[in-house]
Amino acid sequence: MVRVPRVQLSRLPGGRVLVTDGDSRLELGLGDLPAYVNAREREQAPRWVWDDTARWYPDLLAAGVRVARCHDLRLVHHLLRRAPAADQRLLAGEQSERWDRLGPSVASEVGLFAADDLSEHLRADLEDARQVRTVAESLEAARLGLLVAAESAGALVAAELTYAGMPWRRDVHEALLAELLGPRPRHGARPQKLEELADQVRAALSTPTLNPDSNTELLTALRRAGLEVPDTRAHTLRALRHPAIEPLLQFRQRAHLFQTNGWTWSDEWTQGGRFRPTYQPAGSVTGRWSSNGGGALSFPAIVRPAAIADEGWVLVVTDVSQLEPRVLAGMSGDRALAHAARGADLYQGMVDDGAVATRNDAKLGLLGAMYGATSGESGRMVAELTRRYPQAFALLERAAHEGERGGTVRTLLGRGSPSVDEAWGSVEEADPEREASRRRAYGRFTRNFVVQGTGAEWALCWIADLRNRLWHLGAEGPLQARPHLVFFLHDEVVIHAPAHRAEAVVAAAREAAATASALVFRELSIDFPLSASVVRSYAEAGKTPPPQVD
DNA sequence: GACCGCATG
DNA sequence: GTACGTGATGCGGTCC
């Protein structure tokens, strides 16, 4: 294997950058960095080591420079701090407590980094040496090394997603808003169609002054109309029969659209034909990403029609079917479950293997086991399935038990769970009942952590490999001129690609899934079938899925 | 700052 | 028969 050289970048006072590379040291102006990075990428692409990808990479991308590999010291520091296989003593040293405290950079701060900031002056080379050694000397150098690489590659993907953005047609979005809400209201006012619906609700409840945004007022008005309800959730309201309900539900839905994906949101997050949410890799403790701007985590179906590929381009929308049950099969080595996982529908596979009567039973039982259901129909399923899939279910039971006795668990590649106190705060629980309940709740968390966390690792390996394949798919030029990722959410990916490359992109996504499976689960081959649709608009995706999948 | 309600996987 | 403190994230509203 070719050893990839590591080049560390550290920010110095005065807009300078320290470049360290083995024994050589070099100082550059921040403005000269893109050209330097670009030149080195062209000879032998090194691994760029920096404090935080979100601080360094956006400026490089803006200058047209794409890098092949990086090592994100902030993400990896936090990862290693909790990794059971890592010797914590090796992480201690100069500035290490500052790395402990280093939080994610926020989008609004990015512009500030060009300016001097002594407090941010961290020596990447020193921390890198500690991290490299910690991984190399860990009990599981191979797995942890893979996780570190995947986590860092994910950070590159996150920056590129925001940079490229989801293709966005503002005119289509605005037409949609006009249809559902009316013309854009002046600042602070309620849109016309919303006000009309509010009037209908007021009339139906004979409460002329009602503010339907206020649940307190709503509850009183509903009760005065003889509707005894515990809350005002849509699900509760739907069960009622009353002329106020229909307009109220419509009001709710459209008010939500207005507030979360209306004109204000559009002004802030959609510019130049692109929707650019910001992603936060490992934003949740299991390693899943979160989003800290624009709301990438809840990209509502109602606005998806506005996500439309450029002329001559398409969106390739692809997601993994039943990621977590497959991950469970892989990490537990349960051959019966792995067998059921062959094919497009794992739940149907369980039926065909004679483990359960119906597909719904399979789903209920498996999800119940992964989330820790103990009662109801789901609970009964779990008992039966434990007999059929002993290893898979034993793995979940062990994880739950570990959490209940106050311990921590880890993913397959070695990400550690936070302790119960870290996760939910340290409390002196006087009541033993409540203490027991807290422990059981944490047991459900650790039970789910192992599967969700390993699923996130698989997904990282998938997008990292896919990112590489897309770059080498044949086109030349900058990122946006080639097929490129524009959206990622847990187990789903959207690629923007020239129409004539759509089939190649789908193939790349499938190959990347196979690669991820082999990387994470080694010789134990688990199928990870993808559903893929090639569409112009995101809203068209998955409308006619080949097999039924959920 | 707490709560509710809603959207996503 | 059991339990109601939780699968997660983020967002924007009201209430006090």
User: What is the per-residue DSSP string for A397-439?
Assistant: HHHHHHHHTT---B-SS-PBPPPHHHHH-------HHHHHHHH
Whether any strand C atom is under 7 angstroms from the Cβ of A448: the reply reads: yes
**Domain interval for residue A259:** 171-266
Whether A12 and A141 share a structural domain = yes
Query: Is A122 part of any domain?
Result: yes
Nucleotide B6 C1' to residue A493 CA (A): 23
Whether any strand B atom is under 7 angstroms from the Cβ of A253: the reply reads: yes
Q: Which residue is nearest to nucleotide C7 (CA to C1')?
A: A371
pLDDT score of A547: 41
Predicted TM-score of the model (pTM): 0.92
Whether A332 and A421 share a structural domain = yes
Nucleotide C8 C1' to residue A423 CA (A): 13
pLDDT score of A110: 46
pLDDT score of A375: 59
Whether any strand C atom is under 7 angstroms from the Cβ of A444: the reply reads: yes
pLDDT score of A420: 85
The rounded distance, in Å, linking the Cα atoms of A300 and A257 is 9
pLDDT score of A106: 59
Which one of A454, A482, A515 terminates a domain? A454
Nucleotide C16 C1' to residue A292 CA (A): 28
Residue A370 DSSP class: H
Please, what are the averages of pLDDT over each run of 10 residues along chain A (550 residues)? 88 93 94 97 95 95 97 96 96 92 65 47 94 97 97 96 95 95 90 94 94 92 91 90 93 93 92 92 92 83 94 95 93 94 91 89 85 67 84 93 92 93 72 78 91 95 97 91 95 96 97 96 89 94 53
Whether any strand C atom is under 7 angstroms from the Cβ of A438: the reply reads: yes
pLDDT score of A545: 45
Which one of A454, A474, A506 terminates a domain? A454
Nucleotide nearest to A236 (CA to C1'): B5
Nucleotide C2 C1' to residue A443 CA (A): 17
- Tell me whether residue A47 is exposed, middle or buried, using C-beta atoms within 10 angstroms of its C-beta: 0 to 12, 13 to 18, 19 or more: middle
Nucleotide B6 C1' to residue A133 CA (A): 46
Q: Which helix (H) or strand (E) holds A167?
A: strand A166-167
pLDDT score of A3: 81
Domain count, chain A: 4
Nucleotide B8 C1' to residue A114 CA (A): 35
Backbone torsions φ then ψ of A248, nearest 5 degrees = -65, -45
Whether A12 and A127 share a structural domain = yes
Whether A431 and A494 share a structural domain = no
SS3 A162: helix
Q: Which residue is nearest to nucleotide B5 (CA to C1')?
A: A233
DSSP-derived secondary structure for A1-54 = -PPPPEEEEEEETTTEEEEEETTEEEEEEGGGHHHHHHHHHHHS--EEEES-HH
Q: Which residues contact A184 (CB under 8 A, 6 or more apart)?
A: A177, A191, A263
* C-alpha torsion angle, residues A315, A518, A401, A285 (rounded to 10): -40
CATH number for the domain spanning A528: value is: 3.30.70.370
Whether any strand C atom is under 7 angstroms from the Cβ of A441: the reply reads: yes
Nucleotide C10 C1' to residue A290 CA (A): 8
Whether A138 and A199 share a structural domain = no
Whether A25 and A62 share a structural domain = yes
Nucleotide B7 C1' to residue A323 CA (A): 21
Query: Is A465 part of any domain?
Result: yes
Whether any strand C atom is under 7 angstroms from the Cβ of A108: the reply reads: no
**What sections of A428-522 are H helices per DSSP?**
432-471, 502-521
Whether any strand C atom is under 7 angstroms from the Cβ of A200: the reply reads: no
Query: Is A78 part of any domain?
Result: yes
Nearest alpha-carbon partner for A306 in A494, A485, A486, A538: A538
Nucleotide C5 C1' to residue A36 CA (A): 54
Whether A91 and A56 share a structural domain = yes
Query: Is A548 part of any domain?
Result: no
Nucleotide B9 C1' to residue A172 CA (A): 26
Nucleotide C3 C1' to residue A404 CA (A): 16
Cβ neighbour number for residue A100 with a 10 Å cutoff: 12
> Which bases of chain B are under 7 A from a protein CB atom?
4-9
Whether any strand C atom is under 7 angstroms from the Cβ of A379: the reply reads: yes
Query: Is A546 part of any domain?
Result: no
Whether A60 and A87 share a structural domain = yes
Whether any strand C atom is under 7 angstroms from the Cβ of A185: the reply reads: no
Amino acid at A221: A
Whether any strand C atom is under 7 angstroms from the Cβ of A84: the reply reads: no
Whether A86 and A119 share a structural domain = yes
Which one of A454, A478, A501 terminates a domain? A454
Nucleotide nearest to A214 (CA to C1'): C14
Q: Which residue is nearest to nucleotide C15 (CA to C1')?
A: A216
* Cα three-residue angle A79-A30-A54, rounded to 5 degrees: 30
CATH number for the domain spanning A203: value is: 1.20.1060
Query: Is A545 part of any domain?
Result: no
Query: Is A147 part of any domain?
Result: yes
Which residues of chain A between 283 and 312 are close to nucleic strand C, CB under 7 A? 283-285, 290-295, 297-298
Whether any strand B atom is under 7 angstroms from the Cβ of A302: the reply reads: yes
Nucleotide nearest to A218 (CA to C1'): C14
Whether any strand C atom is under 7 angstroms from the Cβ of A376: the reply reads: yes
Nucleotide B5 C1' to residue A255 CA (A): 12
The rounded distance, in Å, linking the Cα atoms of A150 and A462 is 9
Whether A260 and A193 share a structural domain = yes
Whether A55 and A157 share a structural domain = yes
Nearest alpha-carbon partner for A69 in A43, A30, A41, A42: A41
Nucleotide B2 C1' to residue A515 CA (A): 47
The rounded distance, in Å, linking the Cα atoms of A345 and A363 is 11
Scan for tokens 């094919």, then name that residue: A343
Q: Which residue is nearest to nucleotide B8 (CA to C1')?
A: A298
Whether A317 and A329 share a structural domain = no
- Tell me whether residue A13 is exposed, middle or buried, using C-beta atoms within 10 angstroms of its C-beta: 0 to 12, 13 to 18, 19 or more: exposed
CATH number for the domain spanning A418: value is: 1.10.150.20
pLDDT score of A452: 93
> Which bases of chain C are under 7 A from a protein CB atom?
1-16
Query: Is A155 part of any domain?
Result: yes
Backbone torsions φ then ψ of A46, nearest 5 degrees = -85, 180
Whether any strand C atom is under 7 angstroms from the Cβ of A214: the reply reads: yes
Q: Which residue is nearest to nucleotide C1 (CA to C1')?
A: A375
CA A41 from chain centre, in angstroms, equals 28
Q: Which residue is nearest to nucleotide B7 (CA to C1')?
A: A298
